[in-house]
Structure 1
Amino acid sequence: MSCRLLLADDHAMIRVGVRAMISELPGFEVVGEAEDGQQVVEKARELKPDIILLDISMRDVSGLDALRPLAEVAPSCKVLMLSMHDEAELVLDSLRRGAHGYLLKDAAMAELHLALRAIDRGERYLSSAIAQAVIDQALAQRAPLEHGLTQRQIEILRLITRGAGTRSIANGLGLSVKTVEAHRAQIMKRLGIHDVPGLVFYALREGIISTDD
């Protein structure tokens, strides 16, 4: 019996290419396609696939935002993220939200087969090109601090309070703009502060920055 796959990507050419690769892998078949996060949730509910190949950057509802709804409508389905983004923080975020694996879009067909086989067996899979960076990042991260911010968010908060823009922070930390924007939103939400002067006051009060910064 074939493993049934649902392919979600907002680029038709990507879907065509991945479908062609999967057609050459014995034991797997694509039973449906989706082009945004909302549609993949609807298709998952309807088709109950075994594995979803899910892109991160899709219009309207992103792949990341679709992960938790997918767990609700198709709890037995496993998700393999298929993305061009290789930032370790983004990979870890995907795994925390329920993804079972993460594969880069430029992976060879042989690695796609390895990933699908592993996911089908109930294992997790990380693209070989990012595995070490993800492990290093996971080991380097400390538990959330008393104020609810992670070490990465503290680092971004310091840069925000020093007047650094989102793109500058992203370039300096080797992150995507989208990842920095997500961290910024989480910082403001967790602290209940929604403007930069408020963040500066909070950081000074908590000793995160000093008046010399």
Structure 2
Amino acid sequence: MNTSILIADDHPLMLRGLTDFLTSQGYNIVGSAEDGNAAYNLIVKLKPEIAILDIRMPLKSGLEIAEACQKNHLPTKIILITFDKEEELYDQAKAFNVYGYILKEFAIEEIETCIKHVVNGTPYFSEEIAEYLKASQTALRPEILDLLTKSEIKIVKLISENYTSQEIANELSISVRTVDKHRSNIVHKLKLDNKPTSLFVWANKNKDFL
């Protein structure tokens, strides 16, 4: 059990509970934090194999940390713990290559199973959301693509690959303004909300159909 683990949670009782439990089981806890900025800085510095993060923390959320780790190619595998059962959060977790997603009410019962899966390179999501994840694999109806032009489909595909608007503009030899106009049209056609991550989440969930 030499797997190096960082734990971050802004609830002291949860932070201490997980730390004490995993330490008692022989895991190597290399650090802990009570806010997102401190957690991310420790990940950059210590490069633990696994980071167990509360999804909602001050300064930087667990999802924002996962996104930053993905963009900066950090090797740490992320496990999120949360009370939230919102579909969009699950989608974002998958989009940012989160390896584990555990509901807090089952954290102590499931954390070891989750860690063992993650160490072996296998994602683990609480059974409570397994049915949702299964359903999400078929979330895209093929006729939805008929709403989009060929150019818009190209842009959605690049968005699913984490391209920025500037990178998309360079790839397609168009202006950033044109890319942003296309993005706005796509959001409208797909009836997505205006949150900054909504189109990325949709594109990533449905990239196998593009």
When the two structures are superposed, what TM-score results if normalisation uses the length of structure 2?
A: 0.67
Amino acid at match of 1:111: E
Assess if the C-alpha contact under 8 Å between 2:47 and 2:74 holds in 1: no
Answer yes or no: is the 8 Å Cα contact 2:117–2:123 preserved in 1.
yes
Structure 1 residues 157-183: Cα deviation after superposition (integer angstroms, max 9, x where no partner): 6xxxxxxxxxxxxxxxxxxxxxxxxx4
Match of 1:11 in 2: 11
After superposition, give the CA deviation of every residue in 1:79-128 in whole Å (9 maximum; x if it has no partner). 11111112232112111012112111111534211100000111111101
Secondary structure of the corresponding residue to residue 55 of structure 2: coil
Q: How many residues align?
A: 161
Q: Which is further off, 47-56 or 102-111?
A: 102-111
Instruction: Supply the distance in 2 between the matched residues of 1:107 and 1:61 (Cα, whole angstroms).
Output: 24
Cα distance in structure 2, aligned partners of 1:96 and 1:187: 10
Q: How does 1:1-213 map to 2 (within 5 A)?
A: 2-26=2-26, 28-72=27-71, 75-107=74-106, 109-142=108-141, 146=148, 147-149=185-187, 154=191, 183-186=193-196
Deviating more after overlay: 41-50 vs 136-145: 136-145
Does the 8 A contact of 2:81 with 2:107 survive in 1?
no
Q: 1:68 to 1:48 in 2, by over 3 A?
A: same
**1:54/1:188 CA distance change after superposition, 3 Å:** closer
How much identity, in percent, do the aligned residues show? 27
Bigger helix share: 2
Deviations 1:116-145 (A, max 9, x none): 000011111110111111221342245776
CA RMSD, 1 decimal: 2.8
The change in CA–CA distance for 1:188 and 1:89 in structure 2 (over 3 A counts) is closer
Runs (4+) of structure 1 exceeding 6 A deviation are 187-190
1:110–1:25 Cα change, 3 Å: farther
Long gaps (5+) in structure 2: 149-184, 201-210
Report the 3-state secondary structure (helix = DSSP H, G, I; strand = E; otherwise coil) of the residue aligned with 2:6.
Answer: strand
Task: Quote the Cα distance in structure 2 between the aligned partners of 1:187 and 1:71.
Answer: 15
Mapped contact 1:95–1:101 kept (Cα < 8 A): no
Report the CA distance shift for 1:72/1:188 in structure 2 as closer, same or farther (over 3 A): closer
**In 2: Cα distance, 1:107 partner to 1:42 partner:** 28
> Deviation of residue 11 (structure 1)?
1.2
Retained in 2: the 8 A contact 1:56–1:62? yes
Report deviation, 1:189. 9.2
Measured in 2, the distance between the counterparts of 1:103 and 1:188 equals 22
Alpha-carbon distance change, 45 to 73 in structure 1, aligned in 2, over 3 angstroms: farther
For normalisation by structure 1, the TM-score amounts to 0.66
Three-state SS of the structure 1 residue aligned to 2:121 is coil
